[in-house]
Structure 1
Amino acid sequence: MPTLTKKEQEILEWCARGKTSAEIALILNRSETTINFHMSNLRTKFDVTSRHAAVLKAIKLGLTLLP
């Protein structure tokens, strides 16, 4: 199971809620480049090629807090 930083967890949660990188950047007051950097790290940690696959894998592993 991958170890995620607090920021990666937060970004993953927003992705699971369907937010784009641009929307997450506005919510977290960060640049879209920063969000994409964290998403790249998440894809690497989950060994997947897309943000959707990262979210699905996180849900499967019980790492997201979706209602």
Structure 2
Amino acid sequence: MPGWPGAEDCPPQPMIGQTRAVFERYAAAGGSFREVVYADCGHSPHIERPAEVTAELLRLFTD
């Protein structure tokens, strides 16, 4: 990205690891979750992959 100062000044954030840690603690306490990862998709899967996200949401009501 033009003007990006680099990973040393702006390191990647551990958001995925943090989110997984929360869900893993939830599962350890008796809950359950299912992670869905879309290849080549950024921060807005509901916009980039609307049909796939809709199918996943509908699955919550039918499973």
Q: Fold conserved (TM > 0.5)?
A: no
Based on CA coordinates, which of the two structures has the bigger radius of gyration?
A: 2
TM (norm. structure 1) is 0.28
TM-score (norm 2): 0.29
